[in-house]
Structure 1
Amino acid sequence: MAWSSSLKSLLTVFVFINLAVSSVESYQCTVYPCVTEPCAACETTKGCFNEIQKFDTPSVLTDGTFKQKGCIADSNTCSSLTISATLGDQRTFNYANSCCTSVNCNKDDLTLPAPSSTPNGVECPACYNEKTNLCSSVTTLKCTGEEKRCIEVTGKGVGDSSLIIYGKGCATENSCDLDMTVLGRIQIKTSCSSPLSNHGHPTAKFGSSFLIFLLPLKFLL
């Protein structure tokens, strides 16, 4: 009797596990860049990702846009993220990644937010170099829009040690402390520091008002 009861318990567990596994349905995601034409879809149970990156420079000859779509690997997780940074020498970088969990939900291309030209009161050191991990000259950059942090970026080519980038400038908060591959072939690390100035910060306004208040007292003493 005990053996029969144990066998029934094992059978129940087996059926439960089998139902749980079979209930996780797979679906297709759009793949880009295409390996073959037309683009083949991939199968996943984890989700689809959709990514776009744009690097703008003073010359259209060195501008670049990189798009990638596909299935989230079983060993990976996906997080939606949108970042932007403005470095010295008029270099700007914009990145957006989106995750979704339905059939071909990553089919349509992402659009990047339009850059803002409205100053936010933050000023940061700025430079850009593609030869060494330092800058011989640094300028001051007035930050705009949501780029309220001062950023430092170091990068090297994946499998190509001759490819180097280094820059400083303004960036959004979520651009800090990243370690990721951009434009398909550059591994970057970022860190953020305090701004040179923040004219729009409430503390700065309070400090100015306090000094104005104390000025007449000086002549009364």
Structure 2
Amino acid sequence: MTKVLVTLCVLGALQATAAAQNETGTPLACFYCKSGQSCHTVPQTCSPPQDACIIVQEHNTLGAENSGTYQSCADSRQSLTGFLAFYFGAKVAVEIRSEICKSGDCSAESTPSRRAISNVPNGLQCPACYAPGFESCESDGNLRCTGGADQCAVVVGTLVQGAVAIPFAGRGCATRAACGIKTLESGVFTYKLTNVQCSPAPKAQTSSATRTLAWGPFTLGSIVPRVPLFLPALLGLCLC
């Protein structure tokens, strides 16, 4: 029994060591950098269970327009990847794109450019509001969702930047990936969300004003009867 336990411990140690190595078997090293803070110019060696380099690019308009990039070692099994977004109003948004790679120094040369989210309405809508400094907010209207944001989200959490932490609450449209956030180190802020509730966004209502623009009952036949009435008057003017 003792030999079995020793063997398991050795195997566990070997697996943990392998997790921090790249595909060539050498220790994995990644650049560490966060916008607005000092960055390491030399790759930093990763420690188990970190098995990948992560690059997170953020663009937000939470009060002011901010963009930034975060790079570090990461555990690929615990990292969100791809595109996620919250939209708390027509001009209040958080867009984050995250990528990982498992080859040493893979984040050395460049960072992914911010993928522009489609601004085309997707036919859905959600109640929207944003309240920095508060833990709740009440919607005063609906927001038309765009692109891949097909969830209505209610969010409560904290924005952290350095030694400053600001509570906030928001409602609006969100991508499904955004609904799974608890803590996220990003390019501008660290997001610590204490409550995220998401539900499928309902279809947006079509206003009566929009419907009158359609070519419904209006046909060419509605114009033709007016032509004989107008033509004699025009001829009379020409004969004078």
Query: Contact 1:89 / 1:128 at 8 angstroms: preserved in 2?
Result: no
Determine helix, strand or coil for the equivalent of 1:175.
helix
Kindly report structure 1 stretches of 4+ aligned residues shifted beyond 3 Å. 20-24, 33-38, 76-79, 157-162, 181-186
Aligned length: 181
Q: In 2 relative to 1, CA 84–137 (structure 1 residues): closer, same or farther, beyond 3 Å?
A: closer
Gaps of 5+ in 2: 1-6, 207-240
Q: TM-score, normalised by structure 2?
A: 0.62
In the alignment, which residue of structure 1 is the partner of 2:214?
none
Q: Deviations over 1:137-167 (max 9, x none)?
A: 4211111111111111112245979611111
Q: Deviations over 1:159-179 (max 9, x none)?
A: 979611111111112111321
In the alignment, which residue of structure 1 is the partner of 2:53?
48
Gaps of 5+ in 1: 1-9, 201-221
Q: TM-score, normalised by structure 1?
A: 0.67
> How much has 1:126 moved relative to structure 2?
0.5
Query: Contact 1:177 / 1:191 at 8 angstroms: preserved in 2?
Result: no
CA distance in 2, matches of 1:79, 1:166: 22
CA distance in 1, matches of 2:157, 2:151: 19
In the alignment, which residue of structure 1 is the partner of 2:88?
87
Residues 1:129 and 2:134 aligned together:
no
Which residue of the other structure, out of 166, 169, 173, is the alignment partner of 2:172? 169
In the alignment, which residue of structure 1 is the partner of 2:145?
143
Q: What is the letter of the counterpart of residue 46 of structure 1? A: D
In the alignment, which residue of structure 2 is the partner of 1:112?
114
> How much has 1:193 moved relative to structure 2?
2.1
Determine helix, strand or coil for the equivalent of 2:180.
coil
CA distance in 1, matches of 2:28, 2:147: 39
Identity %: 20
Determine helix, strand or coil for the equivalent of 1:115.
coil
In the alignment, which residue of structure 1 is the partner of 2:189?
184
Residues 1:101 and 2:102 aligned together:
yes
CA distance in 1, matches of 2:38, 2:146: 42
In the alignment, which residue of structure 2 is the partner of 1:33?
34
Query: Contact 1:157 / 1:164 at 8 angstroms: preserved in 2?
Result: yes
